[in-house]
Structure 1
């Protein structure tokens, strides 16, 4: 103890961080890694408008279908997008709760990953 300086005990015990993973570190890291590719961010941005088929996404971001399909698979494995079948077409949408819409026109939307939020410009 330094003279004249009073040490205040921390509000947590030293072992607290090891017993509880409040950030859901593994899940959070998987989602952040999935969003770490520029093309995947562009796909997420496209899906903000609503559900789209793979072909529609390809057309919107001017990328080949095989590339878009691969990146959609990564986003799906990270639970950022969901896929439904509509006949022979796969339709993708952002997973429930992933997109948080702005409350007013001046605010930006957010991607909510559970552990953190990423602000998306309009």
Structure 2
């Protein structure tokens, strides 16, 4: 039986973490909201009509698995979708590239 390279296991683990993170309705809503660009936690909480603490918790999970990235601007931390997952320099996309698969995002309503 042919053995898979060590990196294949790491890629599978990362993909599973990302899919698990996106399996939560609140986190999926956050990613959908993030398609419009950088936002701080208070903006996201207001847009999603959710508690700031709850949104902050979900943002950390999405950041840890590499779906979101952060940038500090003064006292604010801005969150955005990582360009490896959702390229901003290409045509507008309805897909997230998770590395192992692509996930089609439903349009926000």
TM (norm. structure 1) is 0.77
**What is the aligned counterpart of 2:39 among 52, 60, 65?**
52
Please identify runs of 4+ aligned residues in structure 1 that moved more than 6 A: none
**1:54: Cα distance to partner?**
0.7
**Relative contact order (C-alpha < 8 Å, sep 6+): which is higher?**
2
Whether contact under 8 Å (1:84, 1:90) holds in the other structure is: yes
Q: Distance in 1 between matches of 2:64 and 2:87?
A: 20
Report SS of the residue matched to 1:115.
coil
**What is the aligned counterpart of 1:97 among 55, 79, 84?**
84
Aligned-CA RMSD value: 2.1
Looking at secondary structure, tell me which structure has more helix per residue.
2
**1:100: Cα distance to partner?**
5.1
Whether contact under 8 Å (1:23, 1:115) holds in the other structure is: no
Unaligned runs of 5+ residues in structure 1 are 1-13
Residue matched to 2:94: 109
Pick the structure with greater CA Rg.
1
Report SS of the residue matched to 1:19.
coil
Q: Distance in 2 between matches of 1:33 and 1:57?
A: 21
Residue matched to 1:19: 4
Residue matched to 1:66: 53
Q: Deviations over 1:14-72 (max 9, x none)?
A: 32xx3232882111111111111100000000000000111110011000000000000
Query: How is 1:6-45 mapped onto 2 (pairs within 5 angstroms)?
Result: 14-15=1-2, 18-20=3-5, 21=8, 24-45=11-32
Unaligned runs of 5+ residues in structure 2 are none
